[in-house]
Chain A
């Protein structure tokens, strides 16, 4: 925990931050590691009727009911399989706990601000609004997702939008 705090402090000082890198198909994505609560296997998900297809349902996380979102479906990936490698990253955003299904988690990386390039305007699938940028690391490119913005967005239909 203290490591994390130090990392957070370091992030402020040197504009570097730690990211959890995960794969969706052949693409690599990254999320702010401070938002990640835990990583667990994909199992025992109860379907919710009449929900968007990328919401796989809800699961029991030590007595707490947690919705599970499959980002592969959300990002229109071709191959969607649930096998041994399939994991759920449990993230804590906006006082909510949400699980996201990914093909695998590869590593934790520290990116400095100069390694992060602004995200170009994407197509309709993933709006640049939900991206913090693109991380370039030697020959790899990481799509850095602003997971909080993404999961609380209207199109994810995870959060009831407050009537203004």
Chain B
């Protein structure tokens, strides 16, 4: 098999790992870094390096190697992280991404960029640690280990001075592993697990010595297996943190290593207090080399092992398969068909005598349950939480706030709102643009905010929620709001037809015109005047729309409303005449049977329903959709109170059928937009039911009712909505 077949898998995995790395870097609390997070970052770099090495992507491998080394120091507390260091790590991550892209496109990465980042990383190592980081890919071990190896070389009796060369160190290491003696330390392992582990170790080699208690149990093993192999076996039983495997040079030194074991533990617990291992290695070289070797080795070798063990575990957890979307769609459709066939069979089977066909009936029940489960699982495949989109904004906000000198906090809401994968991918660019705009133009500089009586830290809120048949994504800032006069002036300057009497909404829409920017200064963040028109076009291409709400001095909210293409909708099925429709459950407030006393007539045909202290327009579904054979008497119908776009109304239907989750099917794929209908779905019997567009039903109703009073009423209601 050709190794290049695995390239794609590596690229995708590496991309995921880089994403993880970035996320952890951003979440890091610099004052008190979480060791788990540091480990996770290190593991990500380590995994990428390993993969890059396997596939011969040398530039990628070397870059990650340098990063990994620095991360390793950070992990041990020897490199104290600061914002600028994290920035550099993030930059390196971007560089790795570029390199990955280059390899993916079959090209070599930009050598200049590589040289630059190498230089920067080396400089950082020199400045912070007082010594360089190895960039030789063949030195495939973490530096602390190497430092330990150097001292190991000294213990072995080689007369090596302070400048112990790398090669000699490697020889020493080779000698060490050749002995095949390993000391395995089990930390906090229960007696039962310990027995198991020792038994396992016995399978791998000869157990020469074992003693200790539950907190710390030592096993000396003579085995041809490598440390990694042993760890891989043991990881099934214990966490990698509970393991400490170290090769020991020769059996005679066992006691010496043991003697040093106590200080080794204390070193592991408080690594921050330790000097960098290289210095440590130099110092003892002059005094008592043997002791230093024993001291350094277990403490420094352990983290390297941990990294390796945990990496394997992490690899198992994030196991994913990448499948083309068409295949998933096909499965979804086929499962739908299966469900229908199953219902049909069920119908036939229910006519049979249960007594004589017991097994068949049981089988049918089982089939039904399995088919439903299958359908549910299949449907969830395509959906991804909005977190997928939102997770890339912390980085953007961090970078931009730094660049702009602003202080901004990012808040995300509704991260678990599920959205079709294809939509999440297409919404990223427009959202990025909106966020950039808010950061650059919306939120003011800290001083200006203070002068305006607002907290110095601006807040940018990203939220997502299902609303009716749509997904509503909001980008909200608490900045200065849009400047109406400026927009009007700019629009006039650009030759757009404007007048001072335009409503705010109309004015805000102007910023979506091509070439429109009121920014005083064009920054490299935004303000070039390309963008908002593209944002609008992209969102419209997805069948959605953008709205802007802005309040001077208080902020701007951009609402992106997207239709669902394949979202699963919680629906309420209702009946009118002989037709079944689906109402999005999120729009349904309540349902009730109206009594004559609560129905008021207004301006002729219009009816209002009094619900508690509120008068709601009463809309008969059969009027809107011209349905025959529906109940004409409102008191014999059910009124469903619906809310859409901030307005409430009562919809008269014949009957409520039930609640169910439905798969939203686009009507426009083969047909066209239908008034008052947002999409369609397929019911259990294989027939199509239409999903009502709650807001559009109301709009359609208002269009038909031309009574002036009604128009006034809705207009005033609209005002209310705007001011809310």
Residues of A in contact with B (beta carbons under 8 Å apart): 44, 46-51, 57-60, 62-67, 96-98, 157-160
A49-B627, A60-B682 known; A96+B669 contact, CB < 8 A: yes
Among A48, A49, A51, the one with the most B-chain Cβ atoms within 10 Å of its Cβ is: A49
- Other 14 A-B pairs with CB < 8 A, given A49-B625, A58-B690, A59-B688: A44-B686, A46-B579, A46-B690, A48-B671, A48-B674, A48-B690, A49-B624, A49-B676, A50-B625, A59-B687, A60-B682, A60-B688, A62-B333, A63-B682
Top 8 A-B pairs, shortest CB-CB distance: A63-B333, A49-B625, A46-B688, A67-B671, A160-B672, A63-B336, A44-B687, A96-B670
Q: What are 25 A-B residue pairs whose CB atoms fall within 8 Å in the complex? A: A44-B687, A44-B688, A46-B689, A48-B674, A48-B690, A49-B676, A50-B674, A50-B676, A57-B688, A58-B680, A58-B690, A60-B682, A62-B333, A62-B334, A63-B332, A63-B665, A63-B682, A64-B670, A65-B670, A65-B671, A66-B671, A97-B670, A98-B670, A158-B671, A158-B672
Among B626, B671, B688, the one with the most A-chain Cβ atoms within 10 Å of its Cβ is: B671
A47 to B581 Cα, complex, angstroms: 11
Total inter-chain residue pairs, C-beta < 8 Å: 80
A154 to B626 Cα, complex, angstroms: 24
Partner of A157, one of B625, B672, B675: B672
* B342 smallest CB distance to A (angstroms): 15
Partner of B337, one of A62, A96, A97: A62
Q: Tell me the interface secondary structure of chain B in the complex.
A: loop
Can you list, as one digit per residue, whether each of B549-591 has a CB less than 8 Å from chain A (1) or not (0)?
Answer: 0000000000000000000000000000001000000000000
Closest to B686 in A: A60
A132 to B440 Cα, complex, angstroms: 59
Q: Which B316-338 residues sit within 8 Å CB-CB of chain A? A: 332-334, 336-337
Closest to B577 in A: A47
B-side contacts of A96, CB under 8 Å: 669-670
Among A46, A97, A98, the one with the most B-chain Cβ atoms within 10 Å of its Cβ is: A46
A-side contacts of B680, CB under 8 Å: 46, 58, 65
Can you list, as one digit per residue, whether each of B648-683 has a CB less than 8 Å from chain A (1) or not (0)?
Answer: 000000000000000001111111111111001010
Once the chains bind, are A160 and B688 in contact (CB under 8 Å)? no
Closest to A44 in B: B687
A46-B689, A48-B674 known; A64+B626 contact, CB < 8 A: no
B-side contacts of A50, CB under 8 Å: 625-626, 674-676
* B626 smallest CB distance to A (angstroms): 6
* A84 smallest CB distance to B (angstroms): 19
* B420 smallest CB distance to A (angstroms): 15
* A105 smallest CB distance to B (angstroms): 21
A48-B690, A50-B625, A50-B626 known; A65+B666 contact, CB < 8 A: yes
Partner of B671, one of A47, A58, A60: A58
Closest to A98 in B: B670
A159 to B680 Cα, complex, angstroms: 17
B-side contacts of A67, CB under 8 Å: 670-671
A49-B625, A65-B665, A65-B666 known; A60+B672 contact, CB < 8 A: no
Partner of A51, one of B665, B674, B685, B688: B674
Closest to B663 in A: A63
A-side contacts of B624, CB under 8 Å: 49
* B545 smallest CB distance to A (angstroms): 15
Partner of B670, one of A47, A49, A63, A66: A66
A-side contacts of B676, CB under 8 Å: 49-50
A-side contacts of B688, CB under 8 Å: 44, 46, 57-60, 65
Q: Which B37-73 residues sit within 8 Å CB-CB of chain A? A: none
* A42 smallest CB distance to B (angstroms): 13
A76 to B688 Cα, complex, angstroms: 27
Closest to B330 in A: A63
* B173 smallest CB distance to A (angstroms): 61
B-side contacts of A62, CB under 8 Å: 333-334, 336-337
A65-B667, A65-B670, A96-B670 known; A48+B333 contact, CB < 8 A: no
Once the chains bind, are A64 and B672 in contact (CB under 8 Å)? no
* B330 smallest CB distance to A (angstroms): 9
* A72 smallest CB distance to B (angstroms): 20
* B244 smallest CB distance to A (angstroms): 56
A-side contacts of B665, CB under 8 Å: 63-65
